[in-house]
Amino acid sequence: SLLNLCRNLPGVDEVISCPLDQDLRVAFDCYVPLLSLPGIFKTTLKTIPSRIPYLQADPEVAARWQDRLDTADLKVGLVWAGNPGHKDDRNRSCPLDLLEPLGQIPGVALYALQKNVDEPSIGQLQRLGITHLGKDLEDFSVTAGIITHLDLVISVDTAVAHLAGAMGKPVWILLPVVPDWRW
């Protein structure tokens, strides 16, 4: 799901995809777990790179969404649930009903960036006046293309929140009372 998004990163010559249930069939000399890099590089608060955005949408993908998201309203993307298989999803995700007041705000266009929405929720989105885009989210490059045209993303702690932040878009993150250790 990150393959196409990562192809546009500066300094990346090649992106290799490997399903988690398979061995990597590419020769390599060294492997470092991602969360070990700050320790290896002796990262401090002063040395954390602060160039934002550090991720951009593919311009061609973003252009495909220009007309669909062209409105004078404040454009807000919504994500209310994470992966149900996540060990703490019951504390992370929230019912779609809680976002209903947002649909009452004049001059705001709401877009669901939620994947795998069930039929009852699709009906609820329509009743709330929220445009459902989840069916079009093939991978994170498409999500980034959409986020390019949004003014704000409101999300529970999901990859979409992190993607919007990496793109320099304002993000409001809905966190539980006892958030994940990273927050």
* Secondary structure, 3-state, 118-143: CHHHHHHHHHHCEEECHHHCCCHHHH
Number of Cβ atoms within 10 Å of the Cβ of 11 = 4
Look at residue 36 and tell me whether its pLDDT is greater than 90: yes
The strand pairing partners of 152, in sequence order, are 76
Helices (H) and strands (E) in the chain, counts: 7, 5
Per the structure block, which two tokens stand in for 46?
Answer: 């002063």
Residue type, 175: L
Whether residue 112 contacts residue 133, with contact meaning beta carbons closer than 8 Å, is answered with: yes
pLDDT the model gives residue 134: 87
Per the structure block, which two tokens stand in for 176?
Answer: 């539980």
SS3 101: helix
What is the average per-residue pLDDT within 41-45? 91
The strand pairing partners of 110, in sequence order, are 76, 130
pTM: 0.83
Q: What is the pLDDT of residues 93-121, one digit of tens each?
A: 888 989 999 988 999 999 999 988 888 88
Q: Give the residue from 142, 143, 176, 5 showing the smallest Cα distance to 77.
A: 143
Per the structure block, which two tokens stand in for 55?
Answer: 């991720």
CA gap 101, 106 in Å, rounded: 11
Q: What is the pLDDT of residues 111-147, one digit of tens each?
A: 999 988 888 888 899 888 899 998 899 899 999 999 9
- CA triplet 133, 135, 139: central angle to 5 degrees? 90
CA gap 126, 88 in Å, rounded: 29
CA gap 121, 119 in Å, rounded: 5
